[in-house]
Amino acid sequence: MSNLKKITELLGDEASYLLEHRSEKISKERLTIPGPHTVDNFAESDRNPQVLKSISQLYNHGALGGTGYLNILPVDQGIEHSAAASFYKNQDYFDPENIIKLALEAGCNGVASTFGGLALHARKYAHKIPFVVKINHNELLTYPTKYDQIPFGSVREAWDMGATAIGATIYFGSEESTRQIQEIAAAFEEAHQLGMATILWCYTRNSAFKKDGKDYHSAADLTGQANHIGVTIKADVIKQKLPETNFGFQDINFGKHSKEMYESLSTDHPIDLCRLQVANCYMGKIGLINSGGGSEGDSDFKAAVKTAVINKRAGGCGLIMGRKAFQRPLKDGVEILQSVQEVYLTDEITVA
């Protein structure tokens, strides 16, 4: 059975809605489309040759190597969601070596995890698969619970363990966001000086982003603006949640917005909403990877493939998916990661 037929069957009654859509608000002709020469997007930038080499290592590793697309395994849930809550479904992943083994077995472009987890096995694996060291986290042991991304180590530590890139999160919209933007901008500059690539988790966080029973944390306009700030502080790759709605600025009534901007830039189709995120990444010159979200069980395979189709057809450059993969047996985790890769390897699935 061809990859396209498998993907079509998995999408079911959503197949034509997702595979046949054409984006007209922001046309694909305006985009820089992912491809074998994606690293050339940085050829005229201030990134030094060592950074270009690191970006190239990410894009040219694993099953998607040389395609311009990324499939990264991220496992920092031991901090962000507590280790017990994250790993009780598969106790193997209390041992961080199994995280690296999963990424290798599945043919991922890289593995993103914590200082401690990657450092413990750096001599064995840092030369076998690109390491992305997550340098800050929101820890959940403080009571009452607070939400703040704080550094867990230094950029130099990541470089010393042979990391190809560093990753960081900013909670845009939070009371702490000003400090986080300043911290991560400085960290990214140091990482570039040392020759590492940079990946930014661009999350929105503010209780006011929930209004009248509707959650705007994944609104295309808010997440798109977070992306735009992310590329401004020189992230080489942007990680963002898939948008589920729009009109955050308008409905919450803050920031700069107009009715015309919504009418001219997007529709309510998920591919068009994601296209707005891509546009905010310098029209695709900086790659957008969407997150795979939490694990819901049997529906994970369809959800993962659907997210990959939306991202690819919007002009994004891949997926960064953790819980759907590591919260199940190794064989199934490998299978779901490879099902995502098949979307990006299927030429018939094109940018809308």
Which residues have a catalytic role annotated?
239
Q: Report residue 154: phi and psi, to 5°.
A: -105, 160
State the Cα–Cα distance between residues 57 and 65, nearest whole angstrom: 9
Q: Are strands 287-291 and 237-240 parallel, antiparallel or unpaired?
A: parallel
* Residue 166 to residues 39, 130, 183, 259, Cα–Cα distance (Å): 17, 10, 13, 38
346: left (phi over 0), alpha (psi -120 to 50) or beta: beta
Q: Which two tokens stand for residue 46?
A: 């201030």
What one-letter code names the amino acid at 98?
N
Do 205 and 216 touch, CB atoms closer than 8 A? no
The number of residues in the chain equals 352
Do 161 and 191 touch, CB atoms closer than 8 A? no
State the Cα–Cα distance between residues 17 and 11, nearest whole angstrom: 10
Query: What b/e sequence results for 174-190 when a residue is b if at least 16 CB atoms lie within 10 Å of its CB, and e otherwise?
Result: bebbeebbebbbebbeb
Q: Which two tokens stand for residue 256?
A: 């700069």
